[in-house]
Chains A and B, each alone.
Chain A
Amino acid sequence: MNVAVVRFPGSNCDQDCVHALRAMGADADYLWHKEESLGAVDAVVLPGGFSYGDYLRCGAIARFSPVMRAVGEFAAEGGMVLGICNGFQILCEAGLLPGALVRNRDLHFICEFIRVRVERGDTPFTSRCDVGQVIEVPIAHGEGNYRADEATLREIGEHGQVLLRYCDADGAMTEAANPNGSIGNIAGICNRARNVFGLMPHPERAMEPRMGSADGSLLLGSLLDALALR
């Protein structure tokens, strides 16, 4: 299973992603953002960080990197694409996922473990989870406040595209458990075809108990399971 982890100028979770994927048995490697082709890969990960210093808007400039045309074509053909944090912002800016991520409700950069509820278990990114399962993963962002217009929210709701929502220990989607003000406590969404997934939490930072949680491996493991079946 070949997984490309794209490096943009300013990416800073690329090594964590490659390490986590390799530890799970995948052949993960870096791909420089200037590359125009993905090569023979089974999945692409857009890692977290601050691509182009978050200039203009988070992800707004990275989305024009040469590699993104190839990522768009790969996604259109059904290829698996995972965007984590800044990667999620880039996917939204590129139009591969609906909506946008704006400044956190309280303006702070938040770096802490939070809980999310898994809304579906029948996707390539969540198959190792049960519906309603509460997992603990860290977030680290200043712009993770998910926004979309009403029509878009209705549409992603109808098509079951919301995969993760911020919640408390009991799985309740409370305002207090919503770290950044995201509408509907949305923490992660996929496209309608369910081959493109973006999330603000960092699964690669929660891969073993000594990291504080191993729940991130449920998400990355699901992806590798899906690739193994292809």
Chain B
Amino acid sequence: MIATLMKAKVTVMPKQSVLDPQGVAVRGALEHLGLSALGTVRVGKLIEIQFDDPGPGSIEAIEQRLHAACHELLSNPVIEDYRLEIER
């Protein structure tokens, strides 16, 4: 039995190897605010997906489909990494 309320959280971050101009700009602004000894600052995004009714199928099957969606849509593997968390 799958819980009726399930939430998936996808964190998408620019790959370490890809220059993140937004992160660089935010870092500069943080220094302006007086924060010092800053390392790298990176800006990513958080996507929350709520399931009202996950429907039939195991959590594992849904998780697998979510991974596929992360790979094809929610992140671009050329420039980004993602992390998928499922809250039940």
Contact check, B17 vs A149: say whether CB atoms are below 8 A apart. Answer: yes
Is B86 in the interface zone, CB < 8 Å from A? no
Contact with B along A91-104 (1 / 0, CB 8 A): 01100001110111
Bound state CA distance, A19 and B24, in angstroms?
A: 41
Bound state CA distance, A61 and B81, in angstroms?
A: 18
Bound state CA distance, A99 and B78, in angstroms?
A: 6
Main secondary structure of the interface of A (DSSP, over half): loop
Contact with B along A63-100 (1 / 0, CB 8 A): 01000000000000000000000000000110000111
Bound state CA distance, A99 and B21, in angstroms?
A: 17
Residues of A138-158 whose CB lies within 8 A of B: 145, 147-149, 152
Residues on A lying within 8 angstroms of B by beta carbon are 56-57, 60-61, 64, 92-93, 98-100, 102-107, 145, 147-149, 152, 181
**What is the CB-to-nearest-CB distance from A4 to chain B, in angstroms, rounded to a whole number?**
25
Contact check, A60 vs B76: say whether CB atoms are below 8 A apart. Answer: yes
Residues on B lying within 8 angstroms of A by beta carbon are 14, 17-19, 21-22, 25, 73-74, 76, 78-79
Contact check, A103 vs B22: say whether CB atoms are below 8 A apart. Answer: yes
Bound state CA distance, A51 and B31, in angstroms?
A: 35
**What is the CB-to-nearest-CB distance from B22 to chain A, in angstroms, rounded to a whole number?**
6
Bound state CA distance, A61 and B17, in angstroms?
A: 25
Bound state CA distance, A148 and B19, in angstroms?
A: 11
Q: A147-B79, A149-B17 are in contact. Are A107 and B25 (CB under 8 A)?
A: yes
